[in-house]
Chain A
Amino acid sequence: MNVIRSMVLFLGYLLSGAVLAGMSPMGERELGSVTGQEGAALDLDLYINAELNANGNPQPLVSLSSCAGGTPTQPNPCFLGLSFNNRTGEWITIKDFYATLRMFDVFIDAANINPAATTYQNPGMDRFEADNSGTGRCLVDGSLGGCGLDVLDNRPALKLSFRPHASPLITAASYRDISWFMNIGRVSAEYDCAACGAGGIQRFGYQLDQATGSVLGLRIARVPAAAAPAELRAAAIRVDGNMLFFGF
């Protein structure tokens, strides 16, 4: 253990004192070369019980029985359960559930709020106030007497957007921001069961498929491509504009 302590101490000294004191502040030019300073761009890929096939189309995981079949007490595992307060042991169970959500070129940047009022300004700015009165404590800056527009002036915000489109005009190629597929095969209520599992063990309602039917089912998809008419295909979505996101 003494060895570890020595190493930590050495690391601490290495990073502090002598070494850091020898560093010199970065100039504007050097700071300007820092990557990532102009915001971050990222792709988001979220798969739930699903994968992409060779054509890039979504499909339920084969290793999960393709999210189909099973028995009432040993169903396929593509389940999602919702349980609410005072509904102990009761679940709204989403079955045969699989989805892919892909977002391309999500830009995250900083922005300052423009101080000019719009024609749609919230009267009295009461949605930013503690008591909705128009004269109460302003939650944005903590002042009394209500919120004015000035409390938002130059306020920092997070700006989210997708890679800008070259033109506002709609083209077939412009649905490139979000690719979304979702399948909810069935929905019903299910219940915790003390001895429903193999060997008489307990199973939760979100692991069971005792209901014989379904309340509803939903799918978000796209008409299959001509080249692969039997495959599922994700919906293609275009999103324009900026979302400013700020807290108070």
Chain B
Amino acid sequence: MLNRLIKTALLACASLLAASPAAAMTALDDEELVEHTGEGLAFALDDFRFLMSADSYIEQVGSAVPTNCASVGCTSAGGGGVAGVGPVWTTTVPYNAAAHNPRSVATAGNYFSFVRGDLRWYGLSISSTSNDQTAGNWDGSTCVGASGIDGLGCPRGGYVDNFSPYDNPYVLRAFSYSDILYDGTTGARTVLELLAPTDQPFYRFSFWGETEAGKNVTCTGTACGTRTLKSQSIIQGNAEGSVLRIFQFSNAADPTFGLYYHSFLQGDYRFTVKQVATNDTIGVPVAFDQFEGIHFKNVRAFLPLGQLHYQAITLDDTPAKNGNFFVELTLLPDTAGVYNAHYALNANDVSGYGGSDYTGTGAAVGSGYATALYAVRCPLLNCGASFTVNGVANAARQPATRYATTHGYVRWGDRACNGSSCTAGADDAGGVNTTDAVNDGIFFLGSGYAAATTTFQSFARRPTVISMATGSAVPTWQNSTANGVNRYRVNLGDARIEGLMLHKLRITSLGANL
């Protein structure tokens, strides 16, 4: 009877849809129907800007934990009614703040380390690198016109045109990659991946921070702000080329949730604590000096966390099973099929570190050492067509190699190539930085930079002459204005870390069992 009822209802619906107005609708043809195949989703952002108000924040907090251990989990000595699971504090040894964390007891003279509200990040913003905002500073004061070094003076700008353009959008897609598995064999695995644009304009990421260090635990209210340190961080750059993947880890013994993140960051960074008008009251936005602080310019960093498919970021609990857990970049498997490829230079090379691509000396373009060296150095260094090995120019731009995806780097400053093997290209145009340079590398600016007044000693004051002739060991000191002793700026030069490869990284929490 029920079937007949359903059939009747369906007939009624069919008759409804078959009526004349429906016939006037345009039918989708097969071509249109196959257009969306479901492989991926694209996100394009135009004229984008994200601004938290300057008094909105993200903070680290902690809640009071239950101290009543009279229930099942606490009844047996040593840790609970579940084998190896229960809490440390039991009814016979209850949690006692004075005994277990004496610094946290609200007594005059005791000082918290970090507690609720001690670390706050205010006003997270993503905006353009322009300086055109009449309320660009955190306190609402104007920040218009040339400001700071290359715009690093203003924390907030305008819209970001083409943040992720429609022809280079963020893409979320399912994809199958054939690569090396945990056991060293090759196989295909499906991943869900989020791809950042491969080319993006520089944008500004900024926030101001507040740290309450050593606060007296008996102090309440905003008056405790006398121990507050306020700071500002401004990053102008992008994360183009970064990739996030999630998948089931290929380790047969632990097929758990795996995460892969290859982080590319480039741009400039400034950190400052110099306020225009000092105000240490908690939660009150302030304006910062436009120049003072430590600068890192022309930074490029690549950090590979995980490899398809033999290394992944995973989560697991600690053996004590006391509430703590760890985040781990899994150990590189001790398997020839893995490490010979992991350490190889070229994408298809499985000969490892001692392989022909490392030891070969062939100068011919497109083969052996020359190609491999070029391929390692140049795709991410922007060497252009002028890169030469053994005097032979290599014009072909190579795809990313295995080495280039397993070994990261951090480069502060634009000196990308050393020696005669690298001719001038876009990345080493800056050459060696002068001690006054403010356009490259790592440098400090004093608050007197704008007025060119000396505000700090950049180097130790060195003795120039130590004479024993007079019977005195008092040296002759270097002139206080010579050679950059009293200064308002100093450049420390460029620095590089190369070959940054993480064999294993594990971060274990301890806080769940305090």
Q: Which residues of A contact B (CB under 8 A)?
A: 1, 4-5, 8-9, 11-13, 15-17, 20-21, 23, 25, 68-75, 84-87, 90, 92, 95-96, 113-114, 117-123, 125, 127-128, 130, 139-142, 149, 152, 157, 168-172, 174-175, 183-191, 193-196, 208-223, 235-248
Decide: A222 and B55 in contact? CB cutoff 8 A.
Answer: yes
Contacts of A190 in B (CB 8 A): 323
Minimum CB–CB distance from B167 to chain A (whole Å) comes to: 4
Contact of A191 among B11, B15, B82 (CB under 8 A): B82
Q: Which of B4, B283, B509 has the most chain A CB atoms inside 10 A of its CB?
A: B509
Decide: A139 and B37 in contact? CB cutoff 8 A.
Answer: yes
Decide: B511 and A248 in contact? CB cutoff 8 A.
Answer: no
Decide: A170 and B136 in contact? CB cutoff 8 A.
Answer: yes
Q: Which residues of B contact A (CB under 8 A)?
A: 1, 4-5, 8-9, 11-13, 15-16, 18-21, 24, 34-53, 55-66, 68-74, 80-82, 85-89, 95, 116, 132-136, 140, 156, 158-160, 162-163, 165-169, 171, 195, 197-201, 248, 254-257, 283-284, 315-318, 321-325, 509, 511-514
Decide: B66 and A185 in contact? CB cutoff 8 A.
Answer: no
Minimum CB–CB distance from B154 to chain A (whole Å) comes to: 11
20 more contacts with CB within 8 A, not counting A186-B63, A242-B47, are: A12-B8, A12-B13, A17-B19, A72-B66, A72-B87, A86-B256, A92-B315, A120-B168, A121-B165, A121-B199, A140-B35, A157-B44, A168-B49, A184-B61, A191-B85, A195-B72, A235-B57, A240-B159, A242-B46, A246-B44
Task: List 16 A-B residue pairs with CB atoms under 8 Å apart, sorted by A's residue number.
Answer: A9-B8, A15-B12, A118-B167, A142-B37, A169-B133, A170-B156, A209-B66, A211-B322, A212-B512, A212-B513, A214-B511, A216-B60, A218-B58, A219-B59, A223-B284, A240-B159
Contact of A9 among B12, B18, B20, B134 (CB under 8 A): B12
Minimum CB–CB distance from A33 to chain B (whole Å) comes to: 18
CB within 8 Å for A245 and B72 given contacts A16-B12, A25-B24, A122-B199: no
Q: Which of A130, A211, A237 has the most chain B CB atoms inside 10 A of its CB?
A: A211
Contact of B62 among A73, A85, A214, A236 (CB under 8 A): A214
Contacts of A92 in B (CB 8 A): 315, 325
Q: Which of A68, A223, A235 has the most chain B CB atoms inside 10 A of its CB?
A: A223
Contacts of A222 in B (CB 8 A): 53, 55-57
CA distance A128 to B166 in the complex (A): 11
Contact of A1 among B5, B61, B156, B163 (CB under 8 A): B5
CA distance A246 to B512 in the complex (A): 43
CB within 8 Å for A212 and B58 given contacts A15-B16, A152-B167: no
Minimum CB–CB distance from A115 to chain B (whole Å) comes to: 9
CB within 8 Å for A188 and B323 given contacts A120-B162, A215-B509, A223-B55: yes
Decide: A11 and B254 in contact? CB cutoff 8 A.
Answer: no
Minimum CB–CB distance from A11 to chain B (whole Å) comes to: 6
Minimum CB–CB distance from B512 to chain A (whole Å) comes to: 4
CB within 8 Å for A215 and B56 given contacts A122-B167, A209-B66, A237-B51: no
Contacts of A210 in B (CB 8 A): 73, 80, 82, 85-87, 323
CA distance A185 to B512 in the complex (A): 12
Contact of B12 among A11, A139, A174 (CB under 8 A): A11
The B interface, classified by DSSP as helix, strand, loop or mixed, is: loop
CB within 8 Å for A245 and B321 given contacts A169-B135, A222-B57: no
Minimum CB–CB distance from B316 to chain A (whole Å) comes to: 7
Residue of B nearest to A187 (CB): B512
Pick the 7 closest A-B CB pairs, nearest first. Answer: A12-B12, A211-B323, A185-B63, A235-B56, A20-B19, A16-B15, A241-B48
Contact of B198 among A85, A123, A209 (CB under 8 A): A123
Contact of B42 among A114, A175, A246 (CB under 8 A): A246
Decide: B64 and A213 in contact? CB cutoff 8 A.
Answer: no
CA distance A20 to B23 in the complex (A): 11
Contacts of B15 in A (CB 8 A): 12-13, 15-17
Contacts of B88 in A (CB 8 A): 212
CA distance A92 to B323 in the complex (A): 9
CA distance A210 to B80 in the complex (A): 9
Q: Which of B5, B65, B140 has the most chain A CB atoms inside 10 A of its CB?
A: B65
Decide: B315 and A218 in contact? CB cutoff 8 A.
Answer: no
CB within 8 Å for A16 and B16 given contacts A72-B74, A121-B165, A248-B37: yes
Decide: B283 and A223 in contact? CB cutoff 8 A.
Answer: yes
CA distance A74 to B69 in the complex (A): 11
Decide: B315 and A239 in contact? CB cutoff 8 A.
Answer: no
Decide: A212 and B53 in contact? CB cutoff 8 A.
Answer: no
Contacts of B166 in A (CB 8 A): 113-114, 118, 152, 157, 244, 246
Contact of A20 among B21, B56, B167 (CB under 8 A): B21
Contact of A8 among B8, B43, B52, B254 (CB under 8 A): B8
Decide: A247 and B38 in contact? CB cutoff 8 A.
Answer: yes
CA distance A13 to B18 in the complex (A): 12
Decide: A170 and B71 in contact? CB cutoff 8 A.
Answer: no
Decide: B24 and A244 in contact? CB cutoff 8 A.
Answer: no
Minimum CB–CB distance from B150 to chain A (whole Å) comes to: 20
Decide: B42 and A238 in contact? CB cutoff 8 A.
Answer: no
Contact of A221 among B57, B70, B171, B321 (CB under 8 A): B57
Minimum CB–CB distance from A219 to chain B (whole Å) comes to: 5
CB within 8 Å for A193 and B40 given contacts A92-B325, A220-B57, A235-B52: no
Contacts of B257 in A (CB 8 A): 84-85, 87
CA distance A208 to B513 in the complex (A): 15
CB within 8 Å for A75 and B66 given contacts A120-B168, A210-B323, A240-B49: yes
